[in-house]
Amino acid sequence: MKWFDERYDFSDLRGFAKKKFVPAHKHDIWYYTGGAALFLFKMQFVTGMVLAFYYVPYFEQAHKSIIEIVTKLNMGWFFRSLHHWGAQFAIGILFIHLFGTLLLKSYRKPREMLWFSGFILLGFSIFFGLSGYFLLWDERAFAAVRVATGGLSALPVIGETIKAFLRGGIDVTGETLIRFYAFHVCVLPMAFLGLVVLHLFLVQHHGISVPLSQEGKKLKQVPFFPNVVYKDLMFWLVLLGIVVTFATLLPPEIGIKADPLAPPPENVKPEWYFLFLFQTLKLFPGDLYGLNGEVVAVLLVTAAILFFFLIPFFDRKSQQGLRSPVFTAIGVAYLAYFVIMTLVGYFS
């Protein structure tokens, strides 16, 4: 330790750890969702690295190489399963983190940048998910990517360009697989890491947000180290236990190898975090009072997501530190739509 101390002055860091306090109040459980997501993403990075040693990102071998990972490799089944379940839980916790932030209005001034960076991180995570399960190159993944990229092309002006860029051509082919592999293991992790650093830096800079209802009260300040860190670690350990249990007992299935000329399996469904979009698309008839229902659906979804993204700008009241019941209602409406449509999609 002395050796290091002579080469770098750690007293700053020690001082920082000593001085950092986190307020305690009845909503402080939400503070742990961000850390839990961070933990799961660390796990995704490690399990992903192991899988990347063996996966072959070429359309003729991709499907087979995953079967070999889970059947022939030491612990291969475990890492693949852990990577799968880690992703499910990570995205699940991110949604909880998102809606918690939304309903507690932690996006209000001066934390708008935290909201934006977090929102983009969720977008990245969903793209991580889509590109990840496409790597399986099975029937379901193939249909999902066709729909996801095809749906984007309904956007006016930029739609076709985005579609071609993502697909690497006019169709979903082996080119798309290579592209999605590059996104999944290189582009997204790099961008993600950078944005996480920004997100965490901003949390440090502003300190954690205190909900409006607790503002002005005399709150107990708990030292970040060790109290909060230990609680974080406890939560992470429990989470690890849950994810490993799921990974061991419920290894994810691998569908039939994708065939561009075969129809998708009956009642094909995307991953659960796309179900609310999937249900929405099913709701819109092809002809909507003379308009193209597909375009209307895609535009409405885009507008709803954009509104959600820009909510810190629209919610004037909470910007001024006032209660903002209208935006609580909007938040609850978004949450209800997401939950109900996901359930309808799941059980239909």
Partner 1 sequence: MKLNYSLVTRRTFLNTLFGGWIASFFLGSLYAVWRGAFPTLGKEPDFVVLPKPADYLDIPTNSTKAFAWGGKLGYIFKRSDNTVVALKGVCSHMECNIVYKPADRKFYCPCHKGWFDEYGKNIEGPPPKPLEFFEYRVEDNKLIVFKKGIKVELPKA
Chain residues in the site for partner 1 (CB under 8 A)? 143, 146-147, 150-151, 161, 164-165, 167-171, 173, 175, 260-268, 278, 281-282, 284-287, 292-295, 297
Using the minimum distance from each CB to partner 1, give the nearer residue, 32 or 278: 278
Q: Shortest Cβ distance from residue 211 to partner 1 (Å)?
A: 40
Q: Shortest Cβ distance from residue 64 to partner 1 (Å)?
A: 21
Using the minimum distance from each CB to partner 1, give the nearer residue, 3 or 289: 289
CB atoms within 10 A of CB 269: 16
Q: What is the DSSP letter of 225?
A: I
Q: Shortest Cβ distance from residue 21 to partner 1 (Å)?
A: 41
Using the minimum distance from each CB to partner 1, give the nearer residue, 158 or 242: 158
Using the minimum distance from each CB to partner 1, give the nearer residue, 39 or 274: 274
Instruction: Return the closest-CA partner of residue 138 out of 83, 82, 64, 81.
Output: 64
Q: 275 near 347, Cβ under 8 Å?
A: no
C-alpha 227/C-alpha 173 separation (Å) is 51
224-to-19, 202, 236 alpha-carbon distances in Å: 8, 16, 16
Q: Shortest Cβ distance from residue 91 to partner 1 (Å)?
A: 22
CB atoms within 10 A of CB 187: 15
Q: How far apart are the first and last CA of the chain?
A: 60
Using the minimum distance from each CB to partner 1, give the nearer residue, 74 or 267: 267
Using the minimum distance from each CB to partner 1, give the nearer residue, 50 or 152: 152
Backbone angles phi, psi at 99, to 5 degrees: -70, -30
279: Cβ contacts below 8 Å, ≥ 6 apart: 341, 342, 344, 345, 348
Using the minimum distance from each CB to partner 1, give the nearer residue, 280 or 328: 280
Q: Shortest Cβ distance from residue 301 to partner 1 (Å)?
A: 13
Q: Shortest Cβ distance from residue 156 to partner 1 (Å)?
A: 14
C-alpha 159/C-alpha 9 separation (Å) is 52
Q: Shortest Cβ distance from residue 163 to partner 1 (Å)?
A: 10
Q: Shortest Cβ distance from residue 200 to partner 1 (Å)?
A: 26
Q: Which residue pairs from 179-187 have beta carbons closer than 8 angstroms and sit at least 24 positions apart in sequence?
A: 180/130, 180/131, 180/134, 180/135, 180/145, 181/57, 181/131, 181/135, 183/127, 183/131, 184/128, 184/131, 184/132, 184/135, 185/48, 185/52
Backbone angles phi, psi at 168, to 5 degrees: 75, 25
Using the minimum distance from each CB to partner 1, give the nearer residue, 203 or 344: 344
- Please report, for the chain, how many H helices and E strands are present, in that order: 16, 4
Q: Which residue has the tokens 């429990």?
A: 238
